[in-house]
Structure formats: C-alpha cells, structure tokens
Amino acid sequence: MEQREAIANKIAWISLVCNVLLTVGKITIGLIGNSDAVFADGIHSAADVFASIIVLLVIRISNKPADKEHPYGHGKAEVIVSGIIGILLFMVALYVVFEGVSGFFYKVEPPTFLAMWVAFFSFITKIILYRTSLKVAKQNSSKAIEAIAIDHKADIVASIAASIGVLISIIGEKFDLAFLLYGDKVASIFVAFLIFRISKMMLTEAFNILLERSINQETLQEYVALILTFPEVKRIDRLRAREHGHYVLVDLRIAINHSMTIKEGHDLSKKIKETLMGKYDNIKEVLIHLNPYYPKE
C-alpha cells in the first residue's frame, strides 16, 4: 500500500506541475494570440490542475486499511474523485461551447502562429503523460490515476484540434477566405464536445461503481471456472463481485457434501479464497457461505 501510494503521488505531482505550466501558457497565449481554441484548451488544463490536487488529497484516504466504521475499506474515495472530475469537465464543456458559439456573432481576429505552436507542444506533452499515467494506473489498479490518464487523453485530441483550428484560421486570413477565419471557433466547439464525451464516460463509470454494479461477465466466468476446479464444490449457488475503487469484493455461495465437518468446510473456504486472491491481485476480500449438498438417490 505504501509503494502504491508513493507511485500514485508521484504521477499526480508530475501531472499537476505539467498542467500548471500548460494552463498558464495556453490561457496567456490564447488571449494574446486571439485563439478561442487554445484558450479553451487552457481552461481544460486548469480543470486538470484541480483534478490533480483532488487526487493528491484523496490517495492517502483510499489506501487506508479497513476499520470499524469502514469494514470494506476506503477504496470508493477514488471513485468519488473520478465523479468530481467528471462533473468538473462537464461544466468546462458547457463554458467552452458558450464561448465558441458566441464568437460567431462578432468580428473575428485571426490567431497567431504562436498559438498553434503552443497547442502542438501541449499535444506532445499530453501523449507522454497519458501513456505514463495509464501504465501506472493499470499496474496499481488505481481509479484515481486512471481518471488523470483519461483526462490527459482528452487533452491529446483537444490540443491537436486546437492547433488545426488555429492553422485553418491563419490560412483564411492569409488567402482572404473569410469563412476559414472561423476555423478557430469551430475547433473550440469540437474541443468542448471531446471534453463532454470524456466527462460522460467518467461519470457513468463512477455511478456504476457507487451503485455497486457487478463486474463484467467474462471475469465472473473465470472465477467460476477456478472455483469448480475444487472437487469438493458440488454446485455454485451464487457468485457476486463488485468493484470497490481500486479493488474487488467477492461474495460466494457454494454447496458442499452435507457430511463434511465444519473444519473441512472452513479449510475448503480458506483454500478457495487464497486461490482467487492469489490469481487476481485486485481481489481484496472473498466472503464464502456454505450450503449443504444432498446427492440424489
């Protein structure tokens, strides 16, 4: 847990520092360089700064062991963070759409080349951050780091869209094609759509976990196959598993021969639990209920 927390903190701090620099750069150049798309991308990066700060605050909580008040642990703290980031991104998307659409109702000033290069630099930086964060999130089964990675992914497409929009506007100004001057405005609206799509995905996943939706059927079938390798298990009466942040909780009801002793049943349950947790390192708890099995005459 200490190593997981240290890695998560490192990723969050790297994301925070990079996002602060990108936010200042894109908002400043977006304003100076007359680019709504780059400015909108800067607002998105500002949301990333807030997201990174929240993650830094919540990682320690989510890694705390179970206690009397929270017997299942504190893993859902990371899910709540993911939901908060989703809401924040949704609000950012609405703001960017408003600014982009309103831009069609006044005279357009062409953006500068500097705005395009800032957007392109952001694109390269975010590719590096996304790949690194996603790799660490998978290695540590961290919803909080995964949320940061997804946010970086949104920035990748947003930054390249912003740079293309700026380039189109510059071309429109150079060749006196008035309709191309609005390329930057269109790009800012496209950026808003990308932000909205990411926020919807994050909110959907967060709500599903908070409502304790079952894990996917493919993984459940893998559990079933592993449990049935024990010859003492005559039948699986019920198998449920749910995500609890960065780990999984499993509830299992199995039928064993009615003549088995309490100790034999206890030992079998222990073996099944250890086998499941040994193969799937994201399983934190396995609760097993034993039912009597009466063979037919």
Report d(CA 208, CA 203) in Å as an integer.
8
| 257 and 232 Cβ atoms separated by less than 8 Å | yes
CATH number, domain at 18? 1.20.1510.10
User: Rounded to whole angstroms, what are the CA distances from 193 to 118, 155, 178?
Assistant: 21, 12, 24
Q: Which of these three, 195, 210, 225, is where a domain ends?
A: 210
Domain hosting 249: range is: 217-293
Please tell me the pTM assigned to this model: 0.63
Do the beta carbons of residue 58 and residue 235 sit within 8 Å?
no
Last residue of a domain, one of 176, 210, 244: 210
Final residue of a structural domain among 166, 181, 210: 210
| Domains contained in the chain, number | 2
Please, are residues 287 and 251 in contact by the beta-carbon 8 Å criterion?
yes
Give me the residue label for tokens 């709500």. 207
pLDDT tens digits in sequence order for the chain, 297 residues long: 556 667 777 887 888 888 899 999 999 998 898 888 888 888 878 877 876 677 667 666 666 666 777 666 656 666 777 788 788 888 888 888 887 888 787 777 788 888 888 988 988 998 998 998 888 888 877 766 777 787 788 778 888 888 888 889 889 888 888 788 888 888 888 888 888 887 888 888 777 767 666 788 899 999 999 999 999 999 999 999 987 766 788 999 999 999 999 999 999 999 999 999 999 988 988 999 999 998 874
User: Going by C-beta distance under 8 Å and a sequence separation of 6 or more, which residues neighbour residue 64?
Assistant: 70, 73, 74
Same domain, 12 and 155: yes
Residues found in the chain: 297
